[in-house]
Amino acid sequence: MTTKIEKKIVGYKVREPEAERSAEEAAVTEAPQQPESNVVQMHEAFVRPERLVGSTYKVKTPLSEHAMYITINDVILNEGTEHEARRPFEVFINSKNMEHFQWVVALTRLISAIFRKGGDATFLVEELKAVFDPRGGYFKKGGVFMPSIVAEIGYAIEDHMKHIGLINTDLDRHQQEYLEQKRMEMQGQEPGAKKTDGAEAEDNPFPPSASLCMKCHTKAVVLMDGCMTCLNCADSKCG
């Protein structure tokens, strides 16, 4: 900025740096203070509450006569506010079978550490489900193929994350109703009819001729409307 001097100069004074600094401090003081955010996020320094809410999932594999019980405890962040969120905090696995004790304890500690670190922990599900046992997997009730015990732990964690809303289900209500209708038609039952086959219907909810789906590992792929389609996850070769 240029200033034109029209009067005679009778004196002058050099402005000191301290004066400039005090003027800048005054300007900062006069500026409105931004309110600090009170939203609590998950991080490593987060202190564990005295009480946590959780769920326990029973996993029974044909590889052992004893079942595994997977307990996932959650912490509720920003309770009572619009930013309230339920996040997994720790995992425990208990079983009478001591054969896998060491790696089970190590796995649960690593998963719990990732949960407490914060951020998006849903990637753990796909990593665990992709672990294959070199001795071969097994089929569960409903025709679901489990490549390993670790993968079944991943499925249990996935179910829990869907339950608390951390993972959204791929199919909406209309898609689920359509697949259920097609499944009933291929089994020769009327849509909406009650199952009368008992345990057999529970073990085989999909047509016996169905093949294995490479996406959800369920024997539910059938030829529907001229295209191979999975009745469980709606995966289709035709897109």
Residue 188 has a CB neighbour count (10 Å cut-off) of 7
Structure tokens at 223: 């030829």
Residue 145 placed within a domain:
yes
CB 214 within 8 A of CB 129: no
Half-sphere exposure of 222 toward its Cβ, with a 13 Å CA cutoff? 18
Shared-domain flag, residues 86 and 186: no
**Percent of the chain residues topping a pLDDT of 90:** 30
Shared-domain flag, residues 145 and 182: no
Residue 114 placed within a domain:
yes
Shared-domain flag, residues 73 and 148: yes
Structure tokens at 227: 């295209």
Q: Which residues contact 61 (CB under 8 A, 6 or more apart)?
A: 68, 138, 146, 149, 152
Shared-domain flag, residues 131 and 64: yes
Shared-domain flag, residues 128 and 62: yes
Shared-domain flag, residues 213 and 136: no
Shared-domain flag, residues 70 and 91: yes
Residue 21 placed within a domain:
no
How many domains does the structure of the chain reveal? Answer: 2
**Confidence at residue 239, expressed as pLDDT on a 0 to 100 scale:** 62
Residue 45 placed within a domain:
no
Shared-domain flag, residues 158 and 217: no
Shared-domain flag, residues 181 and 151: no
Residue 18 placed within a domain:
no
Structure tokens at 112: 């719990």
> Position 41: which residue type?
Q
Structure tokens at 69: 């019980």
Q: Going by DSSP bridges, is the β-strand pair 211-212/145-146 parallel, antiparallel, or unpaired?
A: unpaired
Q: Which residues contact 36 (CB under 8 A, 6 or more apart)?
A: none
Q: How far is CA 187 from CA 7, 211, 237, in A?
A: 104, 15, 22
Helix 101-117 to helix 149-163 angle (10° resolution) is: 30
Residue 118 placed within a domain:
yes
Residue 22 placed within a domain:
no
The pLDDT tens digits of the residues spanning 45-60 come to 888 889 999 999 999 9
What number of helices (H) and strands (E) belong to the chain?
A: 6, 8
Shared-domain flag, residues 69 and 157: yes
Residue 139 placed within a domain:
yes
Domain assignment of residue 158, given as a range: 53-163
pTM of the model: 0.64
Shared-domain flag, residues 220 and 173: yes
Shared-domain flag, residues 159 and 65: yes
Residue of 86, 18, 11, 13 whose CA lies nearest to 49? 86
The pLDDT tens digits of the residues spanning 165-211 come to 888 876 666 776 777 777 777 766 555 555 544 444 455 677 877 88
The pLDDT tens digits of the residues spanning 122-163 come to 999 999 999 999 888 888 877 788 999 999 999 999 999 999
Residue 199's SS3 state is helix
